[in-house]
Amino acid sequence: MGRKIVCLCNLIEEKEIVSVLNKGVESTSQVQQFTGAGRSCGRCLPEIDELVVVYKKKKPKDLQKKLDFGF
Ligand code: FES
């Protein structure tokens, strides 16, 4: 699997964005703050928004898995 650059202006990879989302970042503005992505031309902001939405959708399922003890 190759590197996927989300933010061409600041050379921020998708894996860096996913990493901060996994550490508790919850919004596009927080992704901008912690990675620097989307802080120049802004063309990548829709893609960052999408990653944030996808992550938020996944989170409750992951949480459910953790809470499901198989009883
Ligand atoms: S591509 Fe991300 S700020 Fe320009």
**pLDDT value at position 56?**
76
Every domain of the chain and the residues it spans: 5-67
**pLDDT value at position 66?**
54
Q: Which CATH fold topology does 5-67 show? A: Arc Repressor Mutant, subunit A (1.10.10)
Q: What is the pLDDT of residues 14-71, one digit of tens each?
A: 999 999 999 999 999 999 999 999 999 999 999 999 999 998 777 655 555 555 555 5
**pLDDT value at position 55?**
87
- How does DSSP assign the chain, residue by residue? ----EEETTTTEEHHHHHHHHHTT--SHHHHHHHH-TTSSS-TTHHHHHHHHHHHHHHHHHHHHHHH----
Q: Which of 46, 43, 37 is nearest to 15 (CA)?
A: 37
**pLDDT value at position 20?**
95
| Ligand 1 pocket mutation, candidates 12, 13, 16, 41, criterion most atoms within 8 A of CB | 41
Cβ(32) – ligand 1 distance below 6 Å: no
**pLDDT value at position 2?**
73
Cβ(11) – ligand 1 distance below 6 Å: no
Q: Is residue 60 left, alpha or beta, with left meaning phi > 0 and alpha meaning psi from -120 to 50? A: alpha
**pLDDT value at position 67?**
52
Among the atoms of ligand 1, which is closest to the Cα of residue 7?
Answer: 2
